[in-house]
């Protein structure tokens, strides 16, 4: 066996361990009784430690120094292996396991604390999570030649720095300052219809969500739909796990959530199978992943064409007078609101920008965990002019920090911008796309995305994929143009 073939075997084993961890994490969110939290944290910590041990094994380092490859895909695979090995060998195994244990323990406390808006209950656990994240970030930063925050951000999306994100967000903040009041004023002057009041039975919502996800292209022979406190898509490419949460007064939230996660799932199911469990066969980062969920949910599903298809389906399913106008008012209404996952696409980046600022301050130590609620409320007022009435609708609403995921948030807005850019290119390539969407047919769009994004895996980076698919690296103008047409036209 050549050095490179030995590496592929090693990384296959590491991927299997990571997949096992992903399934245990899904179970913890969707199925596990509360009493299992402590044991689950230990299980996940041991798996993370084993994965780290395998990656840091002396033979991996030796094989990396001796490996030779011929093809471009193998070359990229080897480069990603070297980066993963560098990251792993920089971090002590004890720290890796401690981070996982702390994150699982904190997340368990967070679930209870959020329900009663009790930040004080989770503050000690979050303090430990942040301290461990800071320790790891400093070590990684030194090894990678990056700032501590950029070192964390790069594990979610390679090739984009916090300085670049700052510039993108500053530009968008200026756009929002003018666009939001104008959109609100235009909206106030227009007549509108509202959707009928509930109840919208959970079972009916779930069946409609499954039907639409399957129509979009999700293979339920290799996927599940369940319930969790925070919607997500997890699992593996051949065993996708989607979760959502239901509100019987509003069917739209769960439905859009499922279609959003279906975008993630399709990306995973369409990754290059020949490179499964190799670094190059994975997604090209979380910003690219978010672009795939948002091009489905925001760009395609919330279009006039698709909503004209959805309205009669929903009306029949719920036995209520659900109209296109009512759906447009519910799904395309600009509103300054407190909850990120329920925010409209114009104000959503402000939610992300706030988190981006705060997590950098937490990581650097400029912001103490105890001061997070006040800093959150102050920043929220500055960006959107409103103050959350409690911490459940403020700093407790998201799972990410409490689970140790610091550096993830920028991916959401980078993904939204990439989705608009990709959709503009897809529309040029597919002039009959709206006609297909009006029939509930997303297959032309999915086929285009499969060619230009999904099947590429991580053989190219975020900006390289955008350059190939659209002719440009990330350009926020497409997102601003999309919002201008949809909300200011």
Task: Using alpha carbons, select from 1, 336, 370 the residue that is nearest to residue 181.
Answer: 336
How many angstroms separate the CA atoms of 71 and 20, rounded? 30
Cβ 479 vs Cβ 426: under 8 Å = no
Count the Cβ atoms, other than its own, within 10 Å of residue 145.
8
State whether the Cα torsion 250-252-255-258 is positive or negative. Answer: negative
Q: How many residues does the chain have?
A: 489
How many angstroms separate the CA atoms of 257 and 91, rounded? 36
Specify the residue for token string 């407190």: 338
Chain-centre distance for alpha carbon 257: 12
Taking the chain, what is the end-to-end CA distance rounded to the nearest angstrom?
Answer: 62
Both tokens of 217, joined, read 């292209």
How many angstroms separate the CA atoms of 35 and 37, rounded? 6
Specify the residue for token string 């099947």: 455
| Alpha-carbon torsion angle 175, 419, 224, 332, nearest 10 | 40
Task: Using alpha carbons, select from 6, 91, 1, 2 the residue that is nearest to residue 53.
Answer: 91
How many angstroms separate the CA atoms of 97 and 47, rounded? 9
How many angstroms separate the CA atoms of 347 and 27, rounded? 32
Percent composition of the chain: helix, strand, coil (DSSP 3-state, to 5): 70, 5, 25
261 is catalytic: yes
How many angstroms separate the CA atoms of 447 and 243, rounded? 25
Local structure of 68: helix, strand or coil: coil
- What is the DSSP-derived secondary structure letter of residue 342? G
Using alpha carbons, list the distances in angstroms from residue 46 to 93, 148, 302, 382.
Answer: 10, 25, 43, 43
Candidate list 107, 261, 290, 297, residue with the active-site label: 261
Both tokens of 130, joined, read 């942040």
How many angstroms separate the CA atoms of 464 and 472, rounded? 9
Active-site residues: which are they? 261
């Amino acid at each position: 066996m050549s050095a490179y073939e030995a590496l592929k075997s090693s990384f296959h084993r590491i991927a299997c361990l990571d997949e096992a961890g992903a399934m245990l994490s899904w179970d913890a969110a969707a199925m596990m009784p509360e009493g299992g939290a402590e044991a689950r944290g230990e299980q996940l910590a041991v798996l993370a430690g084993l994965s780290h041990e395998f990656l840091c094994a002396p033979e991996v380092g030796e094989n990396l120094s001796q490996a030779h490859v011929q093809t471009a895909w193998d070359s990229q695979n080897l480069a990603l292996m070297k980066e993963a090995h560098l990251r792993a060998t920089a971090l002590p195994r004890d720290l890796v396991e401690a981070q996982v244990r702390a994150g699982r323990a904190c997340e368990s406390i967070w679930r209870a604390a959020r329900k009663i808006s009790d930040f004080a209950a989770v503050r000690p656990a979050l303090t430990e999570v942040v301290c461990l994240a800071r320790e790891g970030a400093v070590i990684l930063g030194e090894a990678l030649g990056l700032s501590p925050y950029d070192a964390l951000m790069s594990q979610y999306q390679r090739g984009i720095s916090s300085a670049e994100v700052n510039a993108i967000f500053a530009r968008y903040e200026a756009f929002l300052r003018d666009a939001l009041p104008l959109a609100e004023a235009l909206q106030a002057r227009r007549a509108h219809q509202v959707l009928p009041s509930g109840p919208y039975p959970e079972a009916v919502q779930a069946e409609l969500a499954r039907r639409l996800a399957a129509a979009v292209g999700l293979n339920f022979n290799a996927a599940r739909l369940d319930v969790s406190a925070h919607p997500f898509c997890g699992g593996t490419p051949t065993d996708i796990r989607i979760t959502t949460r239901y509100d019987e007064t509003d069917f739209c939230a769960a439905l859009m959530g499922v279609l959003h996660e279906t975008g993630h799932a399709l990306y995973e199911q369409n990754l290059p199978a020949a490179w499964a469990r190799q670094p190059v066969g994975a997604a090209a980062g979380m910003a690219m992943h978010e672009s795939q969920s948002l091009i489905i949910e925001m760009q395609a599903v919330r279009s006039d064409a698709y909503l004209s298809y959805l309205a009669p389906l929903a009306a029949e399913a719920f036995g209520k007078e659900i109209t296109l106008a009512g759906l447009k008012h519910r799904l395309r209404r600009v509103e300054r609101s407190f909850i990120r996952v329920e925010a409209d696409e114009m104000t959503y980046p402000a939610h992300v920008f706030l988190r981006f600022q705060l997590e950098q301050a937490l990581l650097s130590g400029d912001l103490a965990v105890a001061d997070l609620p006040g800093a959150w409320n102050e920043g929220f007022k500055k960006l959107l002019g409103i103050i959350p009435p409690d911490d459940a609708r403020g700093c407790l609403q998201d799972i990410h920090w409490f689970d140790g995921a610091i550096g993830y948030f920028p991916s959401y807005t980078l993904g939204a911008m990439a989705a608009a850019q990709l959709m503009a290119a897809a529309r040029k390539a597919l002039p009959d796309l709206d006609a297909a969407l009006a029939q509930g047919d997303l297959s032309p769009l999915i086929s285009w995305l499969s060619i230009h994004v999904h099947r590429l895996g991580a053989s190219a980076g975020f900006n390289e994929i955008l350059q190939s698919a659209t002719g440009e690296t990330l350009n926020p103008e497409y997102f601003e143009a999309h919002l201008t047409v949809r909300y200011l036209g």
